[in-house]
Every structure is written in C-alpha cells, then in structure tokens.
Amino acid sequence: MPIRVSLVQLGKGAVGSALVDQVAARRAALRDRLGVDLVYAGIAGRKTATFSPSGLDLARWRVALGDGAGMDGRLLFKEAARALRGPSILVDATAEEDMTSLYCEAIEAGFHVVSCNKKPLSGPLRDYQQVKETCRRQRRFWLYEVTVGAGLPVIGTLRDLVDSGDRVEAIEGCFSGTLNFLCASLDRGDRFSETVARARDLGYTEPDPREDLSGTDVARKTLILAREAGHSIEPGEVEVSPFWRVDLAGEPAGFVTAAAAHDGEIAGRWREAEARGLRWRYVARVNGGCQAALREVPADGPFGRLVGPENIFTFRTARYDSHPLTVSGPGAGPAVTAAGVFADILRVGRAIGRTS
Amino acid sequence: MPIRVSLVQLGKGAVGSALVDQVAARRAALRDRLGVDLVYAGIAGRKTATFSPSGLDLARWRVALGDGAGMDGRLLFKEAARALRGPSILVDATAEEDMTSLYCEAIEAGFHVVSCNKKPLSGPLRDYQQVKETCRRQRRFWLYEVTVGAGLPVIGTLRDLVDSGDRVEAIEGCFSGTLNFLCASLDRGDRFSETVARARDLGYTEPDPREDLSGTDVARKTLILAREAGHSIEPGEVEVSPFWRVDLAGEPAGFVTAAAAHDGEIAGRWREAEARGLRWRYVARVNGGCQAALREVPADGPFGRLVGPENIFTFRTARYDSHPLTVSGPGAGPAVTAAGVFADILRVGRAIGRTS
C-alpha cells in the first residue's frame, strides 16, 4: 500500500500551476516507483483557496479555487493543520515576505516545507536560523533547491559538499538567467531597451524588470548559497552593484521606454570589451565575502561562452581544487522551476517511502 | 537524541579507506546537523574483516582489520545482519562480481545499500531488476551516485528528471576521467605510451590500463545511465568501440611498453584533427540506443575544451530543450569518489533523521 503524503500549496502563479499539473501527471507512476501517493489536499491563491482533506480533484482545481473566495493561504494552512494526519508538505510557491512564523508553525505541526520563495531564505539571519532550528528539533525537511538556479542541482550539490566535510573555497558564476539573456543579446549587438522588453515578454524578468536590473535577485541567491556554505551573514553584507544604474521611480511600462536613453552608452561598453577579447557578464561570488556585479570576463571562458537565459555555478573546494565542479543550464522558466520544486517533494517522498 | 545508523562496509581500497576517514571526521557534526549518528559497525577487506555491533574504534580500524583474518565480506554481513538492530546501510566499496544475492539478502534484512561498485548495476538486466524490485518491496534505498562521474551530481539529477516526468531525449558526454586525461595530454603533443604510464602512476587508470582503453568502463557507465533513464537494456546492447585497438594479452607492466608501437599513428590522427579545428574525445551517448566511441568534436565546444581528468554530462530533455542541463568536473580520484559515496549515505541519513 502506498503511503499517502499530503501537499498543501500556497501560490498558483506560473510555477505553482505548472507544479500541480506535473504532480498530477506523475501521481500514478510514483505510487508504484516510490511507494508514496502524492495527494493535493489544498491550493491557495492570494485571496481564494480550495481544500479537501481527502484530496482535490486536480482535473478541476482552477474552478474549485474560484469557489473558495475569502480564504487565503494562512487560513488554508490552519484548516490543513487541523484536518490532515500523516506525512504532509507545505509548498510555498509564493514570493511573499514574512513567512517565517507560518513555516515554523507548519514544522511544529509536523509538516515538511518546500520553498520556491527566496525571501524566507534571504531575510534576516535570525529568521533563517529560526526555521532551520525548528526543523532540526522537529526532524523535518526544509528544502529550497529552486531558489537558486531553478531546476539545476545547485543547493543539493552544495549541501552534499558541506555535509561530507569538504571545505568550500569559492562559489562563482552567473546566477541570473534574465541578466545573462541581456548580456548575450547585447553581445549580438541588440539594443538594451529592446532586449529588456523582449526578456519581459518572454517571461524571463520579474513583472517589473528593474527588480532584475538592480541585482537584488542575484544578491538573494548569493546570500542563500553563502548561508548554505556555512557563512552567518545578513542581507546587507552582500556587496551588490546593479546591472545598470536605472531610475527606480515611475511605472514599469514607462521604464522600458526610459531605458532607451542608456542604449548608446551600453552598446559602447560592450564594443570596447569585445575589442579586448572580453565580454560583460553579471558575476556573483561567494568566498570570504559575497559580491554581485557586472564584470569583464574572457569571451572564450566558461562565463563568457554562456548564451541565452542560462546559469552557471562553479564550486572550488578542498577536494575540487584543480578543476571546479560545474553545473550549468537554463536557470529560469516555469517548467524547469516547477520540476525543481517537484524534485524537492520527491526527496521528502523518497525519504518517507524508503524508510518506513 | 540522534538516531543511530549502522554502517557495514565491504572494501577497504583507496575509496573505501578515504570514506571511513571522511565519515569519522564528520560524525560529531552530523549528529547535530542531521540528528543521526553514523556508526561503523564493520569493515571488510578481501580476506579479513572487523566487526563490533557497538561501533568500531575508527582511530585503529586498520589494525583491527588485520586481527580479523579469516572473515570475508559475506561472513561480515551475516554477522552484522544477526547482531544489528535499527537503521543500517551496507556500503559496497568493492569491484566484485555477483553481488546481487548479497544485496537482496541485505535489503530483505532491512539494510539500505550504497554502491560504488558498478558491476551489480551493469550486469544482466534481470539481476538489476531483482535488486530494484526487492528495494521497492522492502522500502529500502539502493543508491549508487558514484558509479557514474564519481562525486558529480549525475545519477541524482537524472533520477529527479525522470521521477518528475521529464522526457530524456539524450544524455551525452565524456564519462571517463582517465580517457579524457589521455585525450587532453595527446592534444598537448604528449606520447600515447608515456601518457598511459603517467595516468596509471597518478592512480587515474584501473590497475590494468587496458580496462580503461577497451571502453568497458565507459560502457558500464553508459548502461547505468540508460537504465536509470528507463531503458531496459542488456550489457551487450551498448555499442562500444575501444579507445584504441590494444593487445589484451600479456601482463599489465608489459603493455605500457607495447603501447609505444601505437605512438606514431595516434599522434598523426591527433594532428589531422587539430588542423581541422577538431579534437578527439571518447564520447558516450544514450538516446534511442547506447554508444561509446572515440569521436572528433569541435575544439572550442564543451567536450573539446575539457582538460585533464574531467568528465562532462549533458542532459537534453523535453524541459531542457534549447540548452542542455550540464554537469562537469573531476570525475575520478579517491577523495571525490569517497565524498560521493558519503553523499549517498547522507541521503539515507537525512531520510531517517528528518522523518522520524
């Protein structure tokens, strides 16, 4: 008999929706492969939620969600904590702030937590440590692979290095698919303003592209990796320089037009670098400290050769000293991100299915 | 209170020894981090073994092993299965054949199995399926990350892709650090025979380098990945061409001298490729079928740029379609291989520590 694992999901955006569909498609196969039955008990949007302790009908979850007006994620969780028995996972597919107390409450209630939300991981150190400590005490998983590199095996790889006693000397790479898409487009001579607009239209940027251009998103990822590598640091300690000095006032729609004012200067810097066999890449580093900035790199090196919305992560450690351990590939997009969240759910599922 | 997880290890070669030392160094930290206490209860060499249900003294395990003459791995396992209670892991750090029945017996007795031995994974399909099926029925882990790419996150990554419902179109790469070391040395103009001797002296090759040159080792890895990707194939179905036609008769020591007869021809082929902007790499592929052969690749492509004893693995899937998911780095050596086995032990340890 498969063991039932209940899923309660906050967030039904592009990633959240893709995840529900992916889990629904694999549920029957995983019952046999892993011996666990992944049952969606609840899904919440911003203002509506749907809940059924015996399992939602995933063929019509979007409709059911519309009927659940007036219930938000926190109410859904309270309901779930009261009604559910047995192994349960809280999936945070939102981008909300202030999740620490909800996470801790969930873990205290016996839930495992899987996050694609970077904010609970990249806020004050105290909040991060509180969730970690609650997990340790309650013997529950808190997994968040997709907060860095989407579906690429980055955090799990780092965790294995650290837990197995390797000494991480430096983590370096291009952690933003969005900014790498911009860099690679500019390499081909595309205009900055048009490239930003295209990246937004392709769904590569945040709704407001300035969040990407500010470097904030990369700074969050850098902080998450630094903490995973064992550094106790606060968000303010990441030295982040924006991709470009952009005017942060005004509406997102107006910004793309305003960006055209920078087109000439940016194109000039790109040409200068090219003439010296270099390319501009937005590079993040974790060594003693944490930095994220636009840097010139060799055009034929691993960072310079990166094209499109790709990410690269290199780990130099005591054991990987002469050549780094390197992971690269697309690091954004709903399908690969949802698959990464799914992989974290599978980690919990395998743990339950293989040790009972 | 940490949960005790007993380890029983077969094999005390370079990897096995490094693993014992790595686990010993991390034991105290992991008690706190994971809530599990990794206790070595037994270690076996070819003809000697040492066992203590309460835990070996790891400061003197090599000495104790000498005292345990007359007990081999199978006897050690029988003793362990009788004496141990609670979560236990059988670690196979040997390169022995015919482990299927021992694995199944261990799993039936409640053990998890962690293998760095490729043979139980790359023998007859029936044997492989029997271990898998026993694990499914008994709800136990069988993990073998290091059988492909040593400590690099290859099999875990593939498993997540498959379990999350991605469709694997092709896996391609250079799976042998040894053969890549040869290729990259030949790129620099080194002689074939001298390079083989150096690779052997550095511990990159099997004791008999012809095992590497025959392509057998890469064929095994290719088969393991193909099976992990869901293909039901037999060893004979891997189309493998040797790195070079080598005389398989005679003693290993004599072979290196005999190899000098090939130096000129090999150097010639390398020069021809270089003139066309190409390099020779030993490339393995899993798509419809499985192939492993020396191939010409672009010098400035991801395979051609690989230097030293590195591996590269590229995964093209329905979700990773425009750009592959890529993992690269050193794929051989006792320290990184032991760390990869350790990571599998950690996977079992976390599963036990986080779900009880």
**What is the value of ipTM here, to two decimals?**
0.96
Does B329 contact A324 at a Cβ distance shorter than 8 Å? yes
- How many other CB atoms are found less than 10 A from the CB of residue A31? 17
The answer to whether A167 and A318 are in contact (CB under 8 A) is yes
Confidence of residue A250 (pLDDT cuts 50, 70, 90): low
Q: Which of A13-27, A236-250, B125-139 has the lowest mean pLDDT?
A: A236-250
B-chain residues near A22 (CB < 8 A): 164-165
Give the one of B152, B322, B351 whose C-beta lies nearest to A350's C-beta: B351
- The pLDDT assigned to A204 comes to 81
Does A139 contact B163 at a Cβ distance shorter than 8 Å? no
**In angstroms, rounded to a whole number, what is the distance separating the alpha carbons of residues A235 and B200?**
48
Q: Residue A55 — left, alpha, or beta (φ > 0 → left; ψ -120 to 50 → alpha)?
A: left
- The pLDDT assigned to B356 comes to 84
| Unique residue bearing structure tokens 């892709």 | B161
CA B98 vs. chain centroid, Å, equals 17
CA-based nearest distance B171→chain A, Å: 14
Return the SS3 of A201: helix
C-alpha separations of B63 from A156, B23, B52, B182, B335 in Å = 36, 18, 14, 38, 22
Asked if B28 has any chain A CB less than 8 Å from its own CB, the reply is no
Question: Shortest CA distance to A331 belongs to which of A152, A115, A143?
Answer: A152
pLDDT of residue A256 exceeding 90, the answer is no
**In angstroms, rounded to a whole number, what is the distance separating the alpha carbons of residues B123 and A2?**
30
Question: Shortest CA distance to A2 belongs to which of A106, A114, A86?
Answer: A86
**In angstroms, rounded to a whole number, what is the distance separating the alpha carbons of residues A174 and B147?**
29
User: In DSSP terms, which residues pair with A278 in a beta bridge?
Assistant: A298
Name the A residues in 94-113 with CB < 8 Å from any B CB: 112
Confidence of residue B250 (pLDDT cuts 50, 70, 90): low
B-chain residues near A165 (CB < 8 A): 22, 25-26, 29, 339, 342
Per-residue tokens: A231: 């550094």
Return the SS3 of A18: helix
**In angstroms, rounded to a whole number, what is the distance separating the alpha carbons of residues A154 and A276?**
32
Confidence of residue A309 (pLDDT cuts 50, 70, 90): confident
Does A330 contact B351 at a Cβ distance shorter than 8 Å? no
Stretch (H or E) spanning A106: helix A100-108
**In angstroms, rounded to a whole number, what is the distance separating the alpha carbons of residues A260 and A250?**
15
Query: Is A132 an active-site residue?
Result: no
**In angstroms, rounded to a whole number, what is the distance separating the alpha carbons of residues B10 and A231?**
36
Name the B residues in 120-159 with CB < 8 Å from any A CB: 135-136, 139-141, 151-153, 156-157
- The pLDDT assigned to A320 comes to 97
Does A327 contact B330 at a Cβ distance shorter than 8 Å? no
User: In DSSP terms, which residues pair with B38 in a beta bridge?
Assistant: B5
- The pLDDT assigned to A252 comes to 67
Residue-wise pLDDT tens digits, A10-43: 999 999 999 999 999 999 999 999 999 999 999 9
Confidence of residue B288 (pLDDT cuts 50, 70, 90): confident
CA-based nearest distance A107→chain B, Å: 11
CA-based nearest distance B265→chain A, Å: 30
pLDDT of residue B177 exceeding 70, the answer is yes
Q: Residue A110 — left, alpha, or beta (φ > 0 → left; ψ -120 to 50 → alpha)?
A: left
- How many other CB atoms are found less than 10 A from the CB of residue A268? 10
Name the B residues in 187-246 with CB < 8 Å from any A CB: none
pLDDT of residue B211 exceeding 90, the answer is no
Q: Which residues, including other chains, have CB under 8 Å from residue B216's CB and lie 6 or more apart?
A: B240
**Strand locations in B195-344 (E):** 238-240, 278-286, 290-298, 310-317, 325-330
The answer to whether A83 and A53 are in contact (CB under 8 A) is yes
**A309 or B346, greater pLDDT:** B346
Asked if B87 has any chain A CB less than 8 Å from its own CB, the reply is yes
* Beta pairing, strands A3-10 & A88-92: parallel
User: In DSSP terms, which residues pair with B316 in a beta bridge?
Assistant: B170
Asked if A262 has any chain B CB less than 8 Å from its own CB, the reply is no
- The pLDDT assigned to B248 comes to 57
pLDDT of residue A192 exceeding 60, the answer is yes
**Sequence-distant contacts of B68-77: CB under 8 A, at least 24 apart:** B71/B44, B72/B44, B72/B46, B72/B47, B72/B48, B73/B10, B73/B11, B73/B44, B73/B49, B73/B102, B74/B102, B75/B49, B76/B8, B76/B10, B76/B42, B76/B43, B76/B44, B76/B49, B76/B51, B77/B8, B77/B10, B77/B102, B77/B105, B77/B106
Return the SS3 of B321: coil
**In angstroms, rounded to a whole number, what is the distance separating the alpha carbons of residues B176 and B204?**
10
- How many other CB atoms are found less than 10 A from the CB of residue A108? 13
Q: What percent of chain B has pLDDT over 90?
A: 83
Does A166 contact B33 at a Cβ distance shorter than 8 Å? no
